[in-house]
């Protein structure tokens, strides 16, 4: 992946993948007080999705000998494309900022429809927490960041619990899949709301049929369905000219969080689409500031 590619290009042809939002050197150094060497491990198996191995990439500050917060990054791709490899720069930057970070892969539609992607994401959290001592991760300070379809999965991690029937059987069953902070980049929050025609087809692929025929599945797959007072803080970032996910989606989630008394913030980027070429440094700075507030007491 060309990490200098403009986020402006990330529209439908890239299946809801937002750019990795590359950082200027000044932005990176703002997240870490001094240069930090990073160790990367690729293709670690974190569980099973049916008969498939589920894999993630891990970035750790070199020589880490104490527990620090963890961040899980979830790629976009309309639930049917994209790769964990797209976030290698971001997990490196997260490690430089003092986190243990992973970028996860998950099963993709149309071969695997909802709830496979949610189950796999929950399995990744459980693996992260189950291996917290070995990885030097604080199991009580795990955040998740996702873009587009990955943002949808990140929000599902934030609002669902073991009683919602979405845990799956991928592994680490005895461990909680809850997270302590969520950042969403242009994530859909209510799949029963109105979407542009181009997005309706993507939703149909994810759900196994058109929303009008899959109302129950769409409701179960909507983060807004599960919002309650116990949910972790959320940062929702959305552009007003997004051709795939209307910015009203962020407002709907904000209303639900407000009614539940759950903490969070919405940032609306005027004139930006599904990716933010003019705002990427601001978005990343806001992301790390938000995560630091809630994960680094």
Say which of 93, 242, 247, 280 is annotated catalytic: 242
172 is catalytic: no
Instruction: Classify 102 as helix, strand or coil.
Output: strand
Instruction: Classify 152 as helix, strand or coil.
Output: helix
Say which of 112, 152, 247, 274 is annotated catalytic: 274
Supply φ then ψ for residue 140, to 5 degrees.
-100, 5
152 is catalytic: no
Tell me which residue has tokens 């750790």.
60
Q: Alpha-carbon distance 115 to 35, whole Å?
A: 40
Computed from CA positions of residues 89, 90, 96, 99, in that sequence, does the dihedral angle turn out positive or negative?
Answer: negative
Tell me which residue has tokens 């995560």.
291
Q: Alpha-carbon distance 49 to 112, whole Å?
A: 9
Q: Alpha-carbon distance 173 to 87, whole Å?
A: 27
Supply φ then ψ for residue 229, to 5 degrees.
-65, -20
Say which of 148, 177, 199, 222 is annotated catalytic: 148
73 closest CA partner among 125, 25, 3: 125
The H or E element spanning position 126 is helix 116-130
Two structure tokens written together for 155: 């929000």
What radius of gyration, in Å, describes the C-alpha atoms of the chain? 17
Sheet holding 181-185, edge to edge: 38-49, 52-61, 100-104, 68-74, 137-147, 181-185, 234-239, 264-269
Distances (CA, A) of 163 to 44, 106, 273: 28, 22, 36
List active site positions: 148, 242, 274
């Amino acid at each position: 992946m060309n990490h200098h590619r403009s986020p402006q290009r990330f529209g439908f042809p890239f299946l809801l993948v937002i750019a990795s939002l590359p950082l200027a050197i000044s932005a990176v150094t703002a997240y870490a007080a001094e240069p930090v060497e990073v160790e990367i491990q690729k293709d670690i198996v974190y569980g099973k999705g049916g008969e498939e191995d589920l894999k993630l990439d891990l970035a750790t500050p070199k020589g880490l000998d104490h527990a620090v917060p963890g961040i899980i990054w979830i790629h976009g791709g309309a639930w049917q494309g994209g790769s964990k490899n797209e976030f290698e720069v971001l997990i490196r930057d997260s490690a430089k900022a003092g986190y243990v970070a992973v970028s996860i892969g998950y099963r993709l539609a149309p071969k695997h429809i909802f709830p496979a992607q949610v189950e796999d994401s929950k399995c990744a959290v459980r693996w992260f927490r189950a291996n917290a001592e070995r990885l030097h991760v604080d199991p009580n300070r795990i955040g998740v960041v996702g873009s587009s379809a990955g943002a949808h999965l990140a929000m599902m991690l934030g609002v669902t619990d073991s009683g919602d029937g979405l845990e799956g059987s991928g592994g680490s069953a005895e461990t909680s899949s809850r997270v302590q902070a969520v950042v969403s980049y242009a994530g859909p929050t209510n799949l029963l709301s109105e979407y542009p025609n181009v997005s309706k087809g993507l939703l149909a692929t994810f759900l196994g049929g058109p929303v009008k025929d899959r109302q129950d599945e769409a409701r179960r797959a909507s983060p807004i369905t599960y919002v309650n007072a116990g949910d972790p803080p959320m940062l929702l970032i959305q552009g007003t000219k997004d051709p795939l996910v209307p910015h009203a989606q962020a407002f709907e989630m904000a209303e639900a969080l407000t009614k539940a008394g759950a903490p969070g913030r919405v940032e609306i980027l005027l004139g930006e689409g599904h990716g933010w070429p003019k705002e990427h440094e601001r978005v990343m700075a806001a992301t790390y500031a938000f995560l630091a507030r809630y994960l680094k007491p």
